[in-house]
Structure 1
């Protein structure tokens, strides 16, 4: 009798556990179908769907476009990994009209437009100029083959490839009459044409529009201030033209020290330097007298010291070095040297 009661109790617990498990079973529910049909499931079964169930969709009309995911899966939390997709008719949308009106459609109809629909435009003012395509067509992907055109006052068009512009009030590729454009080329290219042009009232530039080209030869090298060119003499004979890779050798005057290789090299129309001429340090007798100093060797005479050389000073007469003065022994670096002081 005792064992029978225990068996009945165990059976009751098992039944309740099964009922609880069924009550808590996780499933994914159907969602609204919008021009969509279920192509197949995995496995094929009606809703609700158990976790792991996959649905594959297709549009009810082959001319429609699906927005969303074609295949979705029921997750362990009872949610689909993506919502049901929707299928909509493929159309092209209106774009903003800028001084433009639609002259005719093919056929005439309001937006949105179906694939194959053609629009023809004209400017709202006969004195304006159209930029873009006068005729455009709606494509099967819902995009126009070209954007809507724009009509502007008579303007000049600029091809800015490889050009750097400055000083113009209307940056872009279309410029108004009176706009003044100053141009230069990106590094490595040479400007062909004027560097300053103006847009005229007839929509033409004051000169043919400049362009940037690759130049492989160099003109004879000119003086270069950053190389102390006024202190350099050319050793090679001057030619009228130099090819890429050709060199011109330089030598600094004897008061300058050369740093680097003594060459300029022609590289695609531009001279590239490999050296600098570094000036010496100089100090006049007047400058040294103002500080009551003189050269330890040479006395009261003008000082000249090449780059990286050391020179030693001393006080004049019975004067003493100032407490905050620099050391008497100094080195010349790139034409600069700090002078000591005595009192």
Structure 2
């Protein structure tokens, strides 16, 4: 609901025999009203959270900072701002790729860079054959894409 205020000098018109006299009154949204509209708690972020203590009410133009869980990568953000009773700002947390020892054994591969089983979104992982040679069309160098990674196979 918006509040309006009169911005013209006259706030009335008279009906005369020749028609209406005077200037058409003009109204606009009251900015003092807009500045006082706050927001409730910001919407939750899947696989993330607010960096500091959450409140139940926020003032107009107040902002909050979000962060993603460990190994997740933030796309967009990290801030949402309360504007006229609505939260603005878009972000999401992109999933990491997880490769466990069973998958390494199934594909007969290891990684060359580290012993980690967690890889962040957009991270490039270089594999090598544990023994044998690569087979199939999947390259030995792959990029993690939002929790999905193609694994090469060796025989």
2:25 aligns to what?
none
Provide the residue aligned with 1:280 in structure 2.
Answer: 96
Is 1:339 aligned to 2:151, yes or no? Answer: yes
How does 1:108-127 map onto structure 2 within 5 Å?
none
CA–CA separation in structure 1 for the residues paired with 2:38 and 2:71: 33
- Partner residue in 1 for 2:134: 321
Is the 1:280–1:332 contact (alpha carbons within 8 Å) kept by the matching residues of 2? yes
Residue 77 (structure 2) aligns with: 261
What's the TM-score once normalised by structure 1's chain length?
0.32
Secondary structure of 2:89's partner?
A: strand
Unaligned runs of 5+ in 1: 1-215
Aligned mate of 1:306, from 115, 120, 128: 120
Q: Is the partner of 1:336 in helix, strand or coil?
A: coil
- Looking at structure 2, the residues matched to 268 and 336 of structure 1 have their Cα atoms a distance apart, in angstroms, of 39
CA contact (8 A) 2:95 2:120 kept: yes
Match 2:40 to one of 219, 231, 235:
219
Q: Kindly report the root-mean-square deviation, in angstroms, between the aligned alpha carbons of the 2 structures.
A: 2.1
Out of 89, 97, 110, which is 1:294 matched to?
A: 110
Runs (4+) of structure 1 exceeding 3 A deviation are: 267-270
**Structure-2 separation of matches of 1:261 and 1:223:** 13
For residues 239 and 302 of structure 1, what CA distance do their matches in structure 2 show?
37
Shift of 1:331: 1.2
Instruction: Show structure 2 runs of 5+ residues with no match.
Output: 1-36
Aligned residue pairs total: 119
CA–CA separation in structure 2 for the residues paired with 1:290 and 1:325:
17
Q: Distance in 1 between matches of 2:151 and 2:42?
A: 38
Deviations 1:109-156 (A, max 9, x none): xxxxxxxxxxxxxxxxxxxxxxxxxxxxxxxxxxxxxxxxxxxxxxxx
Q: What is the alpha-carbon distance in structure 2 between the residues aligned to residue 224 and residue 252 of structure 1? A: 8
Shift of 1:333: 2.0
Does residue 148 of structure 2 align to residue 330 of structure 1? Answer: no
Structure 2 length normalisation: TM-score? 0.65
